[in-house]
Structures are given as structure tokens and as C-alpha cells.
Amino acid sequence: MNGQIVVVGNGMAGSRLVSELRARDRNLRITVFGAETAQPYNRVLLSNVLAGVTAPGDIGLTDPAWYAANGVDARLGREIVAIDRVRKTVTCADGTVTPYGTLVLATGSAPVVPPLPGLDAEGVVAFRTLDDCRAIIRMADGAESAVVVGGGLLGLEAARGLAGRGLRVTVVHLGGHLMERQLDAEAGGVLRRTIAGLGVRTLVGARLTGAPTAGGRVTGVELDDGVVLPADLVVLACGIRPETGLARAAGLTVDRGVVVDDRLRSVDDPDVHAIGECAQHQGTVYGLVAPAWEQARILADLLTGGDARYEGSRQVTRLKAAGIELAAMGETGLGDDEAEVIRFADPARGTYKKVVIRDDRLIGAILLGETTTAGTLTQLYDRAAPVPSDRLALLFQGLDPATPADTPVRMPDAATVCVCNNVSKGRIRACWEAGARDVADVAAETRATTGCGGCRDTVEGILEWLGTQEVTFPTRSGRR
Amino acid sequence: MSPTATHCPYCALQCGMLVGPGTTVAPREDIPANGGDGGALCQKGWTAGELLDIPDRLTVPLMRARRDAPLEPVSWDAALDRIAAGIRRIQEAHGREAVAVFGGGGLTNEKAYQLGKFARVALRTPNIDYNGRFCMSSAAAAQNRAFGLDRGLPVPITDIAAADTILLAGGNVAETMPPFVRHLTAQRERGGRLIVVDPRETATARRADLHLQVTPGTDLALANGLLHLAITEGFIDKAYLDERTAGFEDVRTVINGYWPERVERITGVPVPAMRTAVRMLGEAANALILTARGAEQHATGTDTVTAFINLALALGLPGRPGSGFGCLTGQGNGQGGREHGQKADQLPGYRRIDDPAAREHVARVWGIDPGDLPGPGLSATELLNALGTPGGPRALLLFGSNPVVSAPDAGRVQARLDALDLLVVSDFVPSETAVRADVVLPAAQWAEETGTITNLEGRVLLRRAARPRPPGVRTDLEILAALAERLAAPGRFGAEPAEVFDELRAASAGGLADYSGITYERIVAETGVFWPCPGEDHPGTPRVFLDRFATPDGRARLVPVDHRGPAEDVCADYPVYLTTGRVLAHYQSGAQTRRVRALVDAAPEPYVEIHPDLAGRLGIEEGDDVRVTSRRGGAVAMARFSTAIRRDTVFMPFHWAGPARANLLTNPALDPTSRMPEFKVCAVRLEKK
């Protein structure tokens, strides 16, 4: 490794890379630039903050003191404005120039703000950063109604959080159904009912034309059918756009994101890497945290002498919104003619489950309303492992055919009654035939019930049953 | 002859039992672990008397003339002279550290103490460690780091029944210590609830109110995830954290990366189940969080236990009556065995061998110059792997252990033992390790000698000789005394347990595990005494940490820990997880229990527990011989179907030698702090044989 590693961007990807690098090598020289002054934080938890479950100061990922304690040069609140790939330097907005041996771009993405009139007014906020989150919370205080533009993951989490704060909330969504990138239409419909039950109205197939304002403040949104939805607060969740300006200006190949190979290197410059939402690998730009952390881990391996390769990530979407359980992964839109599809729907109770299988492997799934098998499905999907022959186990937990409680009558003589002392029903019967009539008699003879004590009821039951048998079928011994 | 009141030879529950007349065994009612209501014993306990009359009992020293010659009976003098001469020759040629000692967690406190002293004073070697490294080391390291003190349970076992909620991570007490379940039953009858974390739906998991069926090797992530939820759901005890702990803010920053959905993806445990678990713990007035080998026997074992301790501390449990964090110790004297100096880095009284004050104190008791005490030596796995290598030990004296069956990557360990110039084994049966020795010393067993045991509660108990040992047999203390004399060791090596215990008391005085106030008479009169007990007028300490933790500032430490996953994950070549463990009828390497007929009848042969789905894909039918292969080696055992195990995991019990030896497969990857090997997860492939 020649020279120091400079990381541009201290969000979820950049900060993760820095801690992964330091965990592997105490001596690497690392400098990280972050445009935000705050310590890096976990964006996944912003919905908790908006919902009021977690305080804004409690979602940090790296303690500010960690950098000094671990010898990382952290320049927070310093924005990089230029890269010189010939001199191998980066230039900060304050004019300082920093040389790099290896440069990692982790600049993330910016929210898409549709170019429509009124969206720059007071009262309109894009939901993206912790500062945005704070602004929304501040404006929600005293507001009565809100419109969330965008019925994707982030929009629904924002809507749920605002409804939880007592606002009347309407989601305006351009697509034909909610979360159409992750859900099929039926699931979208069930989700719409569920979220309605939580006080959030949704309009699908609704195109925004602008936001009426009064005195510089937003008063609502206007749709292309002329309808105006009044609102004190408008939250934009219309998707994200990778931050690629620096890379583009430095002459790196940029499509939607900075194009990288399997070593997460720019295809133009082996000393420049990109990870997280600003990177594009095999045509895909990932917008979730898990792929960014996977990339950070693999790049940390590579930069510390490892020989890892990034082969793309499998994406699992989880909605974090109180009262809505939702997990979705893979190709959820396929039908019976394209794959093996197993479905369960109970829209009235807000449950919809769909599992898509091909070649005995899980290739897609939706769990809505009840997600107890999400862990199992996620692991099968992540590992491309063969699915269980019992397909129902993919949809419902605890359906394994339970052994019916053994009654003293049905239990075979060979069945073990006392596991601790390996005593069979047959031996208890033999004791009874030899005159044993209560648990103490049996314990003295066989030691049944003297270990964990858990079989006491069963032994009593067997003795009781043998007692009733005695009347009709006298025993061989004929004693007592 | 009236029965002798003593304790079971097996696990750390140390059930009280009456032995005699003859080999008859019955439970004692006065010992809290298994007493009351007629007392309880499992089948191992009930049949323990058979050990006293097993047919292949060793009663005469055995020795082989050359490595390739057979073991032949010799006199004690011949055997001891050979050992002493071998030690002298090897130490002269290769240095003092070329002779190593390996002990066991089943040895009494007196023997464990004397073994440590023998290594440091008579052999002057740093190289002594023991099989407790495979058992308790991760929990010990984590408890020391958090609390400054490592006592398995911080409370008496009777507090179990009073807990509103218990979380047990990686413990299967229904099979490993059945009478313990009575305490759980009492807890349930009081309305208490039980959460079990285990990759298998074990007999213990089946009786739980909530079973978290975690992916092998991901317990740490689960514990962090539970703490994340405890924080977001408002169950954190802030006042407690302020008053009694340090480090919470650093931990919180790490925990912010463990949101429930991420943890579900790592562990496979459903988010709703995690929420339920956290509520059960958070809403309880009294709660106990307990770990056992399932959570601890990993290359990340110390950090995994730390993660559960962090959870307990955040909930405000440790140091409150009826609540706390504890670990369920495994071996009979797994607690005492880790306190008095048979660990590579330790001196009696749970002192550190690199602490100058500790060295001075112990050297004074031993009558030597502190400068003559060696420093820390190699830990168990490293020690075994170094045997017979250039620069490694060339002689090994082994007491109370059977590493050919019980050590990880056992095939390699066997090769290392065979590469020694001198292997000495003291045992009462010809174990798989003993039969490879150059000299085998026939030792007394459990009911033939007196000594103290410290059970899983930290309660010091007295095992008493119930009958005379067979002619020709000596105790380990007598063996060590005879060898010390031949080696002209300074100081005294007593052969009587009571004398050695008095010396142990003096050596432990002022240490963390202070036994100085404990006497045999008090143990009998008070049904055991809890350490620390710094004076004969001190009542002992049933509940630790009530006022302060044993750290310099009295505060417990929360330590941030991150999930790293198994050292060896599944892959295309080795696509299935293997986890190992015990069955009810057998104990550890099986050297004892495989010689008891009733136990062999109950569990006659090794097996591979496999989900029928996985078996079906591999064309394996129930009862087939299955070859299980890991990067270390192969084993063959019978397939036993079970839907209680995950479809990506198989289980093998580790009690058997021969081709089904589970430890031929296990991964010797070590925890960086505790040096615990990763017994509980490795990657394997399976095929029908």
C-alpha cells in the first residue's frame, strides 16, 4: 500500500469502511472527510427517530472520540470539491489539499426533488438525513396534516411516523401500487389497507403537478387531475440519485453511479474505489444499507492484502413502521407459469404471503402482516440454499407436525417415560404387575421421576390407567 | 457400614449423594442442588457406584520399555523412577519448559492446587494448563472483564426458582444436569418464564416458553440485537447504569448497528420472537441471564458472553438479589478447577501469575523466591499442538483428562502426543489417552479419596472417601508428593487432602477466590460455604456484587463487541454446519460412562442428528452410516433423524472414541482472549457411507 487511504464520505458506507479497515490493521494511515459535522449515524434508525421511539442523538455509529483513540484523521464538516487523479490529491472546500495513495468515494446519494413549482417553499422537506428528520419533527409539531410524496419504503416509514405523531397523513404515489419495486399488486393492495387502518390515506397512480404556497409557505399539493390536497407539511420521498459530481469531474466513468469492477475499483483508475450508494456494480446501484456494508467489508479485505471479490448483493427489504410487518426479497412479481409460487392471502386481517421457488431455490418472497418466517426465508435466499420439502414451513412457523400427546393407553411399551433414568412404559407396567401402586413404589424400583422430575404426571397417568385396566382385565399376578 | 455423605463424580451440579453400603448410591436431601422431596439424581448419578467395580480398573503401574513396546505392569518405584529420570534428562537437554503438565476440571481443589504448585515449584515449568480451557474459559474471561471476578452463578441455585424470567443461552440442562430442571420447574410453578437460545430444539428448549433457534455461531449478534430492542423499547435501567457501571455509551454506539431486521438476517431468529424475549426480560422484576457452552465454545466466545453481560447490565440485573448474569459451569469441579493455579496464567486464589504482589504472596506460602516462579505458559490447545515440535514440550504429565477424545482436531492432538519423548498419564481407567502413554499410573477415584469441589454456584463442598481404594492404587496427591521428592523439590508436598487444603487456604488468602475461612468442618456443618470467605468468622458470600463489583472502582464494565461469525462458515465444499454436544447418559470423553452398563444400554452408540429434509437430499436414510468430513478429518456415525434441528445443521455428541470421534472434525480456531476452541460450529459435508 503506497500512501494513505483517503475516504470521501462518512455516511453508512464510509464510516463502516473506516472501522473495518482499523479492525484489520492498526497501522494504516486513514483520513476520512465527512460533509456533515455530526458523527456518522445509522440511517436505518431515522424512521425510529421520526416515530419518536429514539432520540436524534442516540443513533450514532462511531463515537467522535473513537477517531483520535484509533489514529484516524477525521475531517468532519469538510466537503471535498475536487479530485486530481494525476497528482493524486483531493481538495477541500476550505482550500486544503490532501494527498492519497488510495481514494475511496463513499459520497452516497441525494434525494430526488421533482422540478415542480412550490417544492422549494417552507414546509417542504426531503426525507433523507438526520437534519431532515429533525426539520420534519420540528414542523410536525403544531401541524395538523401532512402529505408524503412517494409510497416507497422511506415514504411509508415517514407517513407512519407522522401519523403516530397525530397528523392526518396522505401518501401520494405515482406507481400503480405501493412499493411496486418490491411488492406485487396484491400485496400492495393489502399494504394499503393495513396502512389505512393506521390512519394513513394513500392515493396511487397520482401524479404531482406542484405545491400551492401562501407567503412562501406550502399549503398543500396539487395533482394532475386538478385535486388539491391541503397540508401543513409536505415530505418528499421520491427516490435517490447517486452523488457522482466529483467522480464525473475527475473523468471517471459514471453511469447512474461510479462504475466499479469486482474489486470495487473504478474501471478507469485502480487507485480509486467507490462503495455504497454512489457506486454501480454490474449495472446495479444499491440503495440499502446491507449491500453498502458488504462492500465496505470486502473493500477493507482488499485494501489490507486480502483477496476478496464483490459478486453483488442480495437485497432484502424490511419496512420499519410500527404496526406493519413486512419483508420482501427477490423476484416477487412472478406468476405460476414462470415459477413455483406458494401464496396465502387473508386481506381482511392484513396478511399476505408469497414464496417464489425455482430449481428448489427461493428466488423471491413477500411476507406481509406476519413475518415469523422472515429469518428462515432471508437465510435461504442469501445462501441460495435448497428449500424444505415441506413448503408450508416457509409461510408459517411451528407447523411441524407435533407428536400428539402420548396417552397412557396409546403409548407403546417401548416408549421412554423417564428420560433421565431411561425407564420405559413397559418397565412401569412390569412394576405395577409386581405390586407397585404409586409413584414412590415405581421410583424405588426404577428411579423414574427421580431426575428432572418432569415425568411424574405421566407415571401417575400410567398407574391410573393400569388401575382402571385391573377391573376389566385382572393381572397375571393377581396380587392386590 | 452406614452410607457416606458425599457428592456425584460427574457434572458441576455436584448432586449430594449417599454411597454405601457397598456401591449403592442414593440422593442426599440436604444439598440444595438436588435435595428436597426425596432428592434427585439422573441415571449417571444413580449408577455412579458401578465405577467402583469396573472390570478394567487400573490397579498397577504400567510402563513400556520403548515407544513401540507394549505397556507392562511394573512396581511403583520403577514407574516413578522412570518418570523422574525422564524429566531430569529432558529438562537438562531442552530446558525446564520442555516438561509440561495437563490437568482437568474434574480434579478436586486440592489436586488442582497441588498440580499448579508441582509444575511451578518442582518442575519450574510455565507450561501447565487444563481441559477447563475447553469448557469455562470464555465465560471466565468475560466475567473477569466485566465484573472483575468470575464466579459461575452469582447467586445460590435456589434463587433460580424466584426469577420471573430466565434467559438460557446455549445450555441443555435437561440432558446435561437433569436435577437442575427441578429448579426450573419450581420457577415455572411460580409463574416464571424461560427463554432458551439454541440451534436445536433440545429437551430444554421444548420446555421453554420461548425458543430462539439461532443459526450456529451467531449468538453474539442475537445478544446485541436484544440489547438494541431493550434500548428502543425503553427497558434500560438508566439509574443503575449511572451508579454501578461504566461504558454504556460506547456499547450503545455499536448496538446502533444491530437493528432487529439485520439481526434476524444474521441469526434467523424472527424479529417478533426477539421482541417477545426483550419484553419478558424487561418486564420481569427479577431476571437471570445465563450462558453455557453453546454460547461460549466459539472463537468469539468471550465476546459472545460479553454481549449477554452487556444486556444484563443494561437491564440492571447483576448485583441485585434474585437477578443477575451467570454461566452454568460444566465439569464437576469446573469452578474450583479454574481458581487455584492449574491454568497457564494463574496462581491460587484466582491470582494472576504476572502480578508481582500475587507472586510474592504465593511464593512465600510455598517457601520459595518469587523470582523462581515461572511466568505464564501456553494455553491448552496451543500446548497440545506444541507437543513434540521443535522448541515445544517433549514430556507431558497428564491428570484427569482424555484429550485424544475431548480436544478439538483430535487427530492432530493424537499425533502430537505420539511425538513426545515421555507421556505420563494418571487415571483409573485405560482411557484412549492413557493407552498411548509411556507410563500409566493407577489413581484413586472419586469415592476413594477425600477432597473439596466448588460447584456451579461457587459453593465449596466436601467429597468424602466412601470406601478404601483397591490395593496398588495411589492418589494423585501421593503421586505428586513422590515425584516432588524424587525431583528434590523445595518446600513441602503433602499427600493428605486436609493438609493440602490448609495450604490452599493460606495461598488463596487475600485473592479474589479467597478460601481462607473455609474448613472441612464448616463445609459439613453449613452444607457448603460460598467463596469468597476471607475468615473463619466470615459467613461466606452466597450473593456477590450486592454492594460493588470487584473492579478497582467498583463499577461493572460494559464492553462493545461486534459479530464476526464462525471462524469457518459453510461453503460449496462444506455446506452444512456441525455442532457438537452431550447426551444425558454420558459424560465428557465417556471414559467413565462408557464403562457403566446401564448408561451404555441407554445410549449405546454415537450418531449424527440430521433433519429428514437434509438427509433426503443426500439420499441418507435413518440408520445409515454417514461419513461426515471437515477440513480436519472424517468421522462415521449412524444417521438419526430429527425435526428438532435446523435443516442447515447436524449435531454429533462427542463422548465416543473410534471412527465416530466428533472431535476429529472440530475446528481448533481459538478465541483471542480465552483461547477457547470453536467446538460449537464448523463446516462439514455428509455422504452416505
**What's the pLDDT tens digit per position in A166-183?**
999 999 999 999 999 999
What's the DSSP call for residue A417? E
Between positions 38 and 97 of B, the ones with CB within 8 A of A are 38-43, 46
Q: Tell which CATH classification among 1.20.1280.290, 3.30.390.30, 3.40.50.720, 3.40.50.300 matches the domain A325-395.
A: 3.30.390.30
Whether B264 and chain A come into contact, CB under 8 Å, resolves to yes
List, for residues A259-306, the tens digit of each pLDDT value: 999 999 999 999 999 999 999 999 999 999 999 999 999 999 999 999
CB contact under 8 A, B253 and A60: yes
Look at the domain A124-238 and name its fold: FAD/NAD(P)-binding domain (3.50.50)
Quick one: pLDDT at residue B67? Answer: 86
Domains of chain B: 4-53 (2.20.25), 62-135+333-530 (3.40.50.740), 138-328 (3.40.228.10), 576-688 (2.40.40.20)
Number of other CB atoms surrounding residue B179 within 10 Å: 27
Question: Given a cut of 90, is residue B32 above it in pLDDT?
Answer: yes
For residues A473 and B417, the model is more confident at B417
Domain A416-472 has CATH 1.10.10.1100: yes
Residue in chain A closest to B184 (alpha carbons) equals A452
Question: Given the C-alpha cell 426477539, which residue does it identify?
Answer: B274
Question: Sheet of A316-318: strands edge to edge?
Answer: A316-318, A326-330, A361-368, A351-358, A340-346
Report DSSP letters for B398-426, one per residue: EES--HHHHSSSHHHHHHHHHT-SEEEEE
- Please say whether the beta carbons of B307 and B220 come within 8 A: yes
Q: Over range B27-54, report the average pLDDT.
A: 94
What's the DSSP call for residue B436? G
Q: Over range B466-493, report the average pLDDT.
A: 97
Q: Over range B153-163, report the average pLDDT.
A: 95
In one letter, which amino acid is A330? G
- Please say whether the beta carbons of B270 and A76 come within 8 A: no
Whether B570 and chain A come into contact, CB under 8 Å, resolves to yes
Residue in chain B closest to A420 (alpha carbons) equals B42
Distance CA B141, CA B148 (A): 9
Question: Given a cut of 50, is residue A402 above it in pLDDT?
Answer: no
* Contact list, B182 vs chain A (CB under 8 Å): 452-453
Whether A47 and chain B come into contact, CB under 8 Å, resolves to no
Domain A5-110+241-303: give its CATH architecture.
3-Layer(bba) Sandwich (3.50)
pTM of the model: 0.94
Q: Which of B185, B203, B264 sits opposite A375 (nearest CB)?
A: B264
Whether A38 and chain B come into contact, CB under 8 Å, resolves to no
In one letter, which amino acid is A464? E
Quick one: pLDDT at residue B173? Answer: 96
Quick one: pLDDT at residue A479? Answer: 42
CB contact under 8 A, B270 and A388: no
Q: Which of A61, A400, A452 sits opposite B643 (nearest CB)?
A: A400
CB contact under 8 A, B585 and A422: yes
Between positions 151 and 190 of A, the ones with CB within 8 A of B are none
Question: Given a cut of 60, is residue A472 above it in pLDDT?
Answer: no
- pLDDT category at A407 given cuts 50, 70, 90 is confident
Distance from the Cα of A99 to chain B's closest Cα (Å) equals 31
CB contact under 8 A, B41 and A451: yes
List, for residues A353-374, the tens digit of each pLDDT value: 999 999 999 999 999 999 999 9
* Contact list, A388 vs chain B (CB under 8 Å): 613, 647
Contact residues for A106 (Cβ-Cβ < 8 A; gap 6+):
A7, A8, A9, A10, A11, A13, A14, A17, A274, A275, A276, A278
Question: Given the C-alpha cell 421412554, which residue does it identify?
Answer: A416
List, for residues B517-550, the tens digit of each pLDDT value: 999 999 999 999 999 999 999 999 999 999 999 9
Between positions 201 and 260 of B, the ones with CB within 8 A of A are 203, 207, 215, 231-232, 249-250, 252-253, 256-257, 259
- Please say whether the beta carbons of A154 and A284 come within 8 A: no
Question: Given the C-alpha cell 420461548, which residue does it identify?
Answer: B210
Chain A contact probe: residue of B252, B271, B685 with most A CBs at under 10 A: B271
Mean of all residue pLDDT scores within chain B:
96
- pLDDT category at A406 given cuts 50, 70, 90 is low
- Please say whether the beta carbons of A406 and A415 come within 8 A: yes
- pLDDT category at A480 given cuts 50, 70, 90 is very low
What's the DSSP call for residue B505? H
Question: Given a cut of 60, is residue A476 above it in pLDDT?
Answer: no
Report DSSP letters for A356-395, one per residue: EEETTEEEEEEEES--TTHHHHHHHHHHTPBPPS-THHHH
All structural domains of chain A with their residue ranges: 5-110+241-303, 124-238, 325-395, 416-472
- Please say whether the beta carbons of A326 and A313 come within 8 A: no
List, for residues B570-621, the tens digit of each pLDDT value: 999 999 999 999 999 999 999 999 999 999 999 999 999 999 999 999 999 9
Q: Over range B390-412, report the average pLDDT.
A: 96
Whether A420 and chain B come into contact, CB under 8 Å, resolves to yes
A325-395 and A416-472 in the same fold: no
Number of other CB atoms surrounding residue A102 within 10 Å: 22
